Structure 1
Amino acid sequence: MDEAALRAMMPISFGKRRAQQARWAAASATNADANASVNAEGLAAVGQDKEENDLSCSVLGKRVAGTDEADADADQDDGLTPEERAANREAERQENERRAKGIASDDSDDSDDQDSDDDQIGPPLPPRTSSSRIPPRSMPPITQTATLSGIHAKTLSALAVDASGSRFALGSYDSYLSLYDFGGMTSSLEPFRHFEPTHETYPIVDLSFNTNSSHLLVISATREAKVFTRDAAEIGTCRKGDPYLRDMRRTSGHVSALTCGMFDSHELAKFYTGASDGTVRIWSEESMHRAQHDMIVLKSKSRGTRTKVTAIACERERIWASGEDGALRMWDLRENLNGRPRHCVDAAHEPDSWTSCIATSGETVVTRGGDATVKVWDARKPTRPVVERADLANASAHTGVILDPFNSRSLITGVSDRVQARRNGGHDDLVSADDRTDSSIVVLDVLDLSTLCTHTTSSTPVRLHWSSHTDQLFATHRNGSLSILYNPTRSTNGITLALARRAHSRPQSPTADSYAIATHTTSTAPSESAKRRRLARARQDPHQTLLPQPPLHGPGKAGRIGAGVQQSSVQNLYRNPDDLNIDPREALLKYANRTAHTEHHLDPHHQYNPPP
């Protein structure tokens, strides 16, 4: 075993105690002589020089220097080679020369920096700038935009995206519902279903998918909410309430138009609806055709003690509801819902303003008011907003606000381009081109609601949704279009799949060159058997053959009178008389012509002597 290996196996303090004792003895003797020969000022100078010498030696990693005899003894037992001892003495000499010249030690600074660098673990931290306050993950992907238009002509007031981000639904003021699926969509960006769920001209105000995205809740401006499958098959309809009852707790359904609704975040078949009758009703898909499962009545302090429900939000065991009176309320679903709410903020927003959206994430609650404000609340103590901002106007009753789905560090909302129009009573013709401001999607910091970035849009944004699976931002607009914002480097699947597929070529209109001309050699006439089959199918079709309607068995329906068991007997007994359609005047006139022909048949006696 060589000398280096032995030195590595020995403890650090091996052979140093003797040198340390000799050094202490020499230092004490030196201090005694110095105290006897110098005055107080000399003592201060010696102490200062000693402190500087100790500091320099500690920086260089050496022991404090003593007398020559102590150094000689220490050199014998320090465990270093003669070359290493010479290098240490040379470094000490150079340091003393630099101190005598008044030059700072660069080596000490370098060693301090090196030690501080060694203490740091991992990659270096990014520079502390204002842009690093928000994580990059919390900023929406707004580098590129894909626009879906041409399907709806009015405001897209409802938007719902499933959990995977592969399918979404759009509802509009034109009472139509569109279903899109990225899995089968091409670059033409067309829906695979476009239908009218209510069969009437009622606008669709809200849409919501359940937890596993198998069912879709459709909220229209009627009293009935409908549930469809993800393929547009109707499952059921909620029951309507009696509009003549004053006590809302005795009704089995809503008695006025719906305003909002959503599925529960945990239970598949449970959903909530809010309406203008001032109630929030809890439904179950199994019993929604009979009555609601439970209900909440919003009691207002304003005149009339009833207020319209404008927005609801449910998370965990809490449900939030806002009213037209400007109040914000919260109930615990585990308690009795007939009592007072757990929290109630009367002046959350201005009275008679429409709070369009409520967003929740943990203990953070964000409200989008119709008074051009966005407020952030703490769910543990919502007596006053944590922070608010008052320069965000909205011209739609459905303007949304969302939190980023990753860590809730930023929130997104839409800003209207009709600020001056709302001040002038909503008349667009009173607004000049200079007074109009661009509509935009604004990203705010949750902590202080400062603007992080702004994305300008051509029309006022209404509903918003940020899919966490595809990392894409959906935004509906008042002109009936949908914008999907994405980042090619961050976003996955979704709209990127549809844009990569080529649209199917549609068949062109027939022209003279495209018609097939049959010559006399080609026999295109159908055979006799084909004619008979076509005639048999036509006879079975009542519209082609104009067959009379068959008799209706059972009770009547659709305006027709049904046929009972005694129908034939009653018809024979009470049948119409035979002379019902005979004109009595014509019946008498036919006997007037017979008098001239029958006079010669009379007896002459009766001719001249008529009976009295």
Structure 2
Amino acid sequence: MHQKNLRRNTQKNSIPASLEVNLNHGTKPVSALSIDHSGARLISGSVDYEVKLWDFAGMSSSLQSFRTIRPCESHPILDLHYSITGDAILIISGTAQAKIVDRDGYEKAECVKGDQYITDMARTKGHIASLVGGSWHPRDKQEFLTCSQDGTCRIWNVEDVKQHKGIMKSRSQNGLRAAPTSCTYSRDGNLIACACNDGSIQMWDHRRMFVNTSVLIRNAHQTGTETSGITFAYDGRNVATRGGDSTLKLWDIRQPKAPVLSAENLYSRFSMTNCAFSPNDRLLLTGTSFEKGESGGKVVFLDRNTFERVHEIDVPKAHVVRTLWHPKLNQIIIGAGDGNVHLYYDVAKSHNGAKLCLGKPKKIRQHDVMSTVRVITPHALPMFREDKPRSTRRAMEKARKDPLLSKQPDLPIGNKGSGGRVATSGSTLSSYIVRNLGIASRIEDEGNPREAILRHASAAAANPYWVSPAYSKTQPKPIWAPENTDGDEEPEAKKGKLN
């Protein structure tokens, strides 16, 4: 008993979970996670259709992603995988076409879609139903695997995505089509395994024809549930499956009739919940969702030999969807249902990763700093040559005080126009506009309009330009009426008749 507790404490101490860092992806559940082999970059996908790329070395303590893409329009991201060299990313979404993007998120290839009117799936060039999972070959950077609800798993080549390279049909016990729910390669790439919705686990040998299965486990999980995760151990002898029936089972591929060990009461709401082995191959971890009355989800660590719960990490107010334990970084990455990516690490046991970005100060954005552009003119005359400023800060402060260089807006109008721009022309805005219009046209407010017009008569007669030359031959000579100085005297035409 003492040795058992000692071993349990030793395994618990090997879990790097003393510190935590949160990366905010969004508000929807993080349904896909992947880290490249070197541990330099992290990619996260969500059901909000977005994929974010994180660079640990280039990220500051502000913890912002360097790129956000929406590769599959309005389709949720179900799975993400880095290739073995880290230069390509496999994106599995709700569409029937898988996409390959490069390390910076730019699209490289897109798999072809099959003909949905053909019954034989072997005669279609691609999937005809929505994808559910995928994986890269562990040793060949050109090959990847996809599985779909059309009942097939297909092997592709990155250089030629116009047609699949190989196809495997998953069948139920009565010979009908069984839809896969997840798929993966073995560690050496010799086996291709998929879990189906009829509760079975089917494996094919990569070195042979994909006609019959090499390993077949019927009723591995409850029929009708989605087995959300399947992964091989590092030694290649065992395979773990995360069932939608709230169970986690460990199988021996040499004796697949019954599970070696099984754990229950691992409730999960998501069809993307997976399981993973620790780098030393002694622990098995998976995530759980919280039910009504519970405070949050958990990351459960199980002993591989006994399936006893060694440790649990509580994630408050969030479901645990994805779990990763990177062997090189020795850090645990969790994709939660609240839209955050939780990174657990230890100062002494972990390396790089989240430890790189926490010590860096926050970067100042470009639009927060007012920069001045200096034009270099080496051959200009001395009187036009601009002296090189000794201090950029002093030049920025000087430009800030200059209303023209800083583009200072107009000062606000004071109360009732006193002290503002309106006060110079009147007490109201209308008088200010009228005065400005009058000044612009040079018309005085209190002038006689007739005199203002006749003032230009001599200039128009001396230098006719527009109207006068056109009517010079036909227009009669204008006779101006004399100005009426007495306002009380009526014109002759309007005088009354005398008897």
TM over 0.5: yes
| 1:134–1:409 CA contact under 8 A, matched in 2 | no
Structure 2 CA distance for partners of 1:291 and 1:134, relative to 1, 3 Å: farther
C-alpha distance in 2 between matches for 1:327 and 1:519 = 75
The residue number in structure 2 matching 1:390 is 264
C-alpha distance in 2 between matches for 1:272 and 1:134 = 39
Structure 2 CA distance for partners of 1:437 and 1:517, relative to 1, 3 Å: closer
Q: Please point out which of 147, 150, 154 is paired with 1:274.
A: 147
Structure 1 residues 156-183: Cα deviation after superposition (integer angstroms, max 9, x where no partner): 1111100111101001101111000111
Question: Is 1:364 matched with 2:364?
Answer: no
**Partner SS state of residue 183, structure 2:** strand
Amino acid in structure 2 at the alignment position of 1:474: I
Structure 2 CA distance for partners of 1:519 and 1:282, relative to 1, 3 Å: closer
Q: Please point out which of 105, 118, 123 is paired with 1:250.
A: 123
The residue number in structure 2 matching 1:295 is 167
The residue number in structure 2 matching 1:131 is 6
Structure 1 residues 449-499: Cα deviation after superposition (integer angstroms, max 9, x where no partner): 110011100211111111111111000011110000001111111101100
Structure 1 residues 236-266: Cα deviation after superposition (integer angstroms, max 9, x where no partner): 1101000111110110000010000010001
The residue number in structure 2 matching 1:314 is 185
**Partner SS state of residue 321, structure 2:** strand
Percent identity reads: 31
Moved more, 130-139 or 275-284: 130-139
Structure 2 CA distance for partners of 1:140 and 1:245, relative to 1, 3 Å: same
C-alpha distance in 1 between matches for 2:322 and 2:133 = 13
Larger Cα Rg: Structure 1 or Structure 2? 1
The residue number in structure 1 matching 2:19 is 144
C-alpha distance in 1 between matches for 2:124 and 2:398 = 65
Question: Is 1:168 matched with 2:70?
Answer: no
Amino acid in structure 1 at the alignment position of 2:279: P
C-alpha distance in 1 between matches for 2:202 and 2:282 = 24
Structure 1 residues 96-153: Cα deviation after superposition (integer angstroms, max 9, x where no partner): xxxxxxxxxxxxxxxxxxxxxxxxxxxxxxx83513257549832111110111x322
Amino acid in structure 2 at the alignment position of 1:405: P
Q: Please point out which of 342, 365, 373 is paired with 1:483.
A: 342
C-alpha distance in 2 between matches for 1:130 and 1:455 = 19
C-alpha distance in 1 between matches for 2:106 and 2:4 = 53
What does 1:181-330 correspond to in 2, within 5 Å?
A: 181-198=55-72, 200-288=73-161, 290-301=162-173, 305-315=176-186, 316=188, 317-330=190-203
Q: Please point out which of 207, 226, 230 is paired with 1:334.
A: 207
Structure 1 residues 393-429: Cα deviation after superposition (integer angstroms, max 9, x where no partner): 11111111000122x11101111102xxxxxxxxxxx
The residue number in structure 1 matching 2:290 is 417
Q: Superposition RMSD on alpha carbons, in Å?
A: 2.2
**Partner SS state of residue 358, structure 2:** helix
| 1:311–1:321 CA contact under 8 A, matched in 2 | yes
Aligned length: 374
* TM-score (norm: length of structure 1): 0.59
The alpha carbon displacement at 1:505 in A equals 3.3
* TM-score (norm: length of structure 2): 0.72
Structure 2 CA distance for partners of 1:514 and 1:278, relative to 1, 3 Å: farther
What does 1:394-409 correspond to in 2, within 5 Å?
A: 394-406=268-280, 408-409=281-282
The alpha carbon displacement at 1:523 in A equals 13
Give the strand-richer structure, 1 or 2. Answer: 2
The residue number in structure 2 matching 1:470 is 329
| 2:34–2:80 CA contact under 8 A, matched in 1 | yes
Structure 2 CA distance for partners of 1:245 and 1:501, relative to 1, 3 Å: same
**Partner SS state of residue 231, structure 1:** coil
The residue number in structure 1 matching 2:465 is none
| 2:145–2:184 CA contact under 8 A, matched in 1 | no
| 1:475–1:484 CA contact under 8 A, matched in 2 | yes
What does 1:515-530 correspond to in 2, within 5 Å?
A: 516=400, 518=402
The residue number in structure 2 matching 1:499 is 358
| 1:330–1:342 CA contact under 8 A, matched in 2 | yes
Q: Please point out which of 245, 253, 264 is paired with 1:379.
A: 253
Structure 2 CA distance for partners of 1:354 and 1:517, relative to 1, 3 Å: same
| 1:216–1:227 CA contact under 8 A, matched in 2 | yes
The alpha carbon displacement at 1:351 in A equals 0.6
Amino acid in structure 2 at the alignment position of 1:457: V
Q: Please point out which of 223, 227, 232 is paired with 1:351.
A: 223
Amino acid in structure 1 at the alignment position of 2:270: S
The alpha carbon displacement at 1:212 in A equals 1.0
C-alpha distance in 2 between matches for 1:385 and 1:138 = 28
C-alpha distance in 1 between matches for 2:332 and 2:322 = 11
Structure 2 CA distance for partners of 1:486 and 1:285, relative to 1, 3 Å: same
Structure 1 residues 590-612: Cα deviation after superposition (integer angstroms, max 9, x where no partner): xxxxxxxxxxxxxxxxxxxxxxx
C-alpha distance in 1 between matches for 2:403 and 2:257 = 88
C-alpha distance in 2 between matches for 1:204 and 1:523 = 46
Higher relative contact order (CA 8 A, sep 6+): 2
C-alpha distance in 2 between matches for 1:307 and 1:515 = 71
Q: Which blocks of at least 5 consecutive residues in structure 2 are unaligned?
A: 371-396, 408-499
